[in-house]
Amino acid sequence: MEFVNDNGALVFYKHGEMCRIEAWGKDSLRVRSTMLGRLSGNDWALTEEYVKPETQIIFGTERYWDGNGEPEWKNNATIINGRIKAVVNFVGIISFYRDDKLILREYFRSYTGTISRESRCLKVINREWKGIIGGSEYSLHVKFESNEGEKIFGMGQYQQSCMELKGCVLELAQRNSQISVPFAVSNLGYGFLWNNPAVGQVTFGKNYTEWVARSTREMDYWITAADGPRQILENYTAVTGHADMFPEDLMGLWQCKLRYRTQDEVLTVARQYQKEGIRIDQIVIDFFHWTVQGDWKFDSKYWPDPKAMVDELHSMGIKVIVSVWPSVDRKSENFGPMMEKGLLIKTERGAAQTYDYQGDCVEIDPFNPETRKYVWEVCKKNYYDLGIDAFWLDNSEPDYGVYDFENYRYCDGPALSLSNIYPQMYSRVFYDEMSQLGKPVVNLLRCAWAGSQKYGNVVWSGDVPSTFEAFADQLQCGLNMGLAGIPWWTTDIGGFMTDDVNDPEFRQLLIRWYQFAVYSAVLRMHGDRGPYNIPPLDDRDWGGGYLHTGQPNELWSYGEENYKIMKKYYEIRMEMHDYIAGLFEEAHTNGSPLIRAMFYEFPEDEKCWNLQDQYMFGERYLVAPILHLNQFEREVYLPVGQWRLTSTGEVYSGGCSVTVDAPIEYMPVFERI
């Protein structure tokens, strides 16, 4: 096999495959290959400029035995970038080393002519390409050896109880409440980015790891070596991008419900908060304030003077965010022009429909620059020019009526090849334009992909149930999202789907969730609150008045005792303002999440690698959420050091577990001293 030094990159060819390994950032390598003769030039998540590091490429030989048992020598090659090294043997198997210690090796079980672990007759190879009949794309399977004792984290957000991912099978696809951000952090001191937006799957098996792209034109992954998770994320965000500086006037309370139906409702709520002496930083105007999906404008019957509404809210120091969906109803005034110009997603067969909630809809194609221009111009005229500050980009996966990815196509190619980056492209409809206008950009999205942190995205965890089980899942979701490089992450306080706001068990859940949210990146009240006994505003089958609304969802909506608790925790949030601002600055400079897995701060403590029901809010506060109904005490593990329990002031010595009280008025929090 021939190896070539191509201007500091190691290139080799094998059975029609061209593979390129090159330094890409500090202590990091990017690996690409294709069966099409040349690479596409797509950088996907690896968007940031960096100083090209000096690398070493060494050509050598290794011994093997031919069929007669005689020794022969075959070529191999090594590329070194700082602490990371890749060695490619004579059959194209790549092995990665951190400080000369093996951390990852491609999996190969076929006869090589050597007596080795890889020399088997199974004909299982490390990189398997299979052409898709009738197209230029391939399905791709890439396998790696499984490391015994390894723990894997990150990968975005999956609605499951497992935070540690070894042994898990994860779909690489976007869904409502599922966010595929394919960056994994290993306790062996490396991070791995599957830099490919294709729909697929990853299996972190005990026997091997396998990455699958169902339709792609090239393999692309990036690997970095470092001492621990903090340094891994620093290397990762240096090449994928950092979050912007978060505005200090958005670090408090965001008020939202399903849904404020009129501008009078919005102003009434805002005035009441002002009367109560509680500052809300932003109020959210949710869906169906519009006429039909895709009109992207206020229904004038219920929002007769939105500019006057925005002006009054601004006078109170409140910013305004409105919901924008990517779906365009056939009845929309924009459907005809957008369909005619090819600005909507195309279906491969059957009817032109991708979404069917409250209308016959096709969603926009943000891969098309003309789509991005069209949608922004409409939203600028109907929202931004009225003073609207930000956009809630809901359904941003997009939320297909049926997740048949093989039936959809974007202007850049089939959805199977590209769909995972859709939410990022959707966010850029707004970010690319707003960032040129001189104001900070903070938009709210339900989905993200690798690198989305640089596009002003606050990502929330989607439409999750209002249960303690779902609450526990959101904690591990948030910790893994942070480890995947997404620091601006939040949830619907109390969960999204509630049958009865008067249920005492729901109200207990709401308080426990609210206490947790105070110690997270964004404090945001939201939820679809039943029972649905509020009549619609009119009998039209379209517009802002016909759809149902949820029960009130303001801090005072759940009884005086609960209101007292929420006000107390609101004050705690306000008192932490300067500290929280410092955490957002860290996220901006080195990629550190605000809510951190215990091992992020204590990587040398083996126990911390096994904890998922407590976390660090920055480096100072250890937070122990209450994740079960009628739980009024809990055990908390304290790493070595001194810890002050904030409820009593009592100081504990760490290196052990302690049991502390957790009445409904209090969630255990320890301050590191």
Is residue 27 a contact partner of residue 236, using CB atoms and an 8 Å limit?
A: no
Length of the chain counted residue by residue: 673
Q: Which residues contact 74 (CB under 8 A, 6 or more apart)?
A: 1, 61, 62, 63, 64, 89, 90
For residue 84, list its beta bridge partners.
Answer: 81, 98
Q: Domain containing 623 — which CATH number?
A: 2.60.40.1180
pLDDT of residue 65: 60
Q: How high is the pLDDT of residue 566?
A: 98
Q: Does any domain span residue 122? A: yes
State which residues form the domain around 425: 253-559
Share of the chain above pLDDT 70, in %: 98
Q: Where are the beta strands (DSSP E) in 25-93?
A: 28-34, 56-65, 71-81, 84-88
Using the predicted structure, report yes or no on whether residue 446 has a pLDDT greater than 80: yes
Q: Are residues 459 and 334 in the same domain?
A: yes
> What backbone torsions phi and psi does residue 532 show, to the nearest 5 degrees?
-90, 70
Query: How sure is the predictor about 66, in pLDDT bands with cuts at 50, 70 and 90?
Result: low
Residue 315 lies in a domain: yes
> What are the respective helix, strand and coil percentages of the chain, to the nearest 5?
25, 30, 45
Q: Say if residue 535 is in the same domain as residue 648.
A: no
**Residue 631, pLDDT above cutoff 70:** yes
In a domain, 119, yes or no: yes
Dump pLDDT digits (tens) for 180-206. 999 999 999 999 999 999 999 999 999
Report the candidate in 619, 625, 663 with the shortest Cα–Cα distance to residue 643. Answer: 619
**The predicted structure's pLDDT at residue 320:** 98
Q: Which residues are catalytic?
A: 394, 397, 463
Q: Are residues 503 and 621 in the same domain?
A: no
| DSSP track, 374-434 | HHHHHHHHHTGGGT--EEEE-STTT--SS--GGGEEETTEEHHHHGGGHHHHHHHHHHHHH
Q: Are residues 233 and 279 in the same domain?
A: no
Q: Mind listing the pLDDT tens digit for each residue in 213-223?
A: 999 999 999 99
pLDDT tier for residue 68 given thresholds of 50, 70 and 90: low
Give the residue from 240, 263, 297 where a domain finishes.
240
- Do residues 342 and 411 lie in contact, with contact meaning Cβ atoms separated by under 8 Å? yes
Specify the residue for token string 């002003």. 456
| Whether 73 contacts 63, CB under 8 Å | yes
CATH number at residue 83: 2.60.40.1760
pLDDT per position as a tens digit, 538-576:
998 888 888 989 999 999 999 999 999 999 999 999 999
Does some domain include residue 350?
A: yes
Q: Do residues 273 and 321 share a domain?
A: yes
Q: Please, which pLDDT band fits residue 385 given cuts at 50, 70 and 90?
A: very high
User: Do 110 and 124 touch, CB atoms closer than 8 A?
Assistant: yes
Residues 236 and 264 both lie in one domain: no
Tokens at residue 487, please?
């620091």
* 360 in Cβ contact with 329 (< 8 Å): yes
Predicted pLDDT at 114: 58
**Domain presence at residue 589:** no
Cβ atoms < 10 Å from Cβ of 169: 11
> Do residues 115 and 57 both lie within one domain?
yes
| Domain membership flag for residue 586 | no
Question: Degrees (nearest 5) of the Cα angle 194, 200, 204?
Answer: 65
Strand residue runs (E) in 24-136: 28-34, 56-65, 71-81, 84-88, 94-98, 101-105, 127-131
Q: Is the pLDDT of residue 64 over 80?
A: no
Q: What is the pLDDT of residues 228-249, one digit of tens each?
A: 999 999 999 999 999 999 999 9
* pLDDT score recorded for residue 96: 98
Average pLDDT, stretch 442-467? 98
* The last residue of a domain, from among 559, 580, 609: 559
At 37-56, the pLDDT tens digits run 999 999 999 999 988 899 99
Both tokens of 591, joined, read 């990629």
pTM for the model stands at 0.97
pLDDT at 224: 98
Is the alpha carbon torsion for 554, 556, 562, 565 positive or negative? positive
| Domain termination residue (choose one: 176, 206, 240) | 240
Structure confidence by residue, pLDDT tens digits, 587-620:
999 999 999 999 999 999 999 999 999 999 999 9
- The pLDDT of residue 1: 83
Q: In whole angstroms, how far apart are CA 437 and each of 213, 522, 554?
A: 38, 24, 33
Contact 47, 451 (CB under 8 A): yes
Phi, psi of 84 (to 5 degrees): -110, 145
Identify whether residues 261 and 186 lie together within a single domain.
Answer: no
Determine the average pLDDT of the residues in 456-464: 98
| Residue 32 within any structural domain of the chain | yes
Q: Looking at the structure, do residues 520 and 606 belong to the same domain, yes or no?
A: no
Task: Identify the CATH number of the domain in which residue 495 sits.
Answer: 3.20.20.80
Q: What is the pLDDT of residue 3?
A: 97
The pLDDT tens digits of the residues spanning 276-334 come to: 999 999 999 999 999 999 999 999 999 999 999 999 999 999 999 999 999 999 999 99
Helix 577-590 and helix 229-240: axis angle, to 10°?
70
Which of 62-76, 143-157, 544-558, 620-634 shows the lowest per-residue confidence on average (mean pLDDT)? 62-76
- Do 370 and 428 share a structural domain? yes
Nearest to 506 by CA among 534, 471, 455: 471
Looking only at the bridges linking them, the beta strands covering 200-204 and 346-347 are unpaired
As a whole number, mean pLDDT of residues 407-436 equals 98
Q: What is the mean pLDDT of residues 255-260?
A: 96
Residue 443 pLDDT > 80? yes
590 domain residue, yes or no: no
CA distances from 417 to 34, 314, 420, 449 (A): 14, 43, 8, 14
**Does residue 347 sit in the same domain as residue 306?**
yes
Do 173 and 285 lie in one domain? The reply is no
- Tally the domains of the chain: 3
Write out the E strands in 247-360: 253-255, 280-285, 319-324, 327-329, 346-347
Instruction: Tell me how far apart the alpha carbons of residues 277 and 297 are, in angstroms, rounded to a whole number.
Output: 32
Provide the pLDDT for residue 62. 84
pLDDT of residue 275: 98
What's the rounded Cα separation, in Å, for the pair 396 and 392?
10
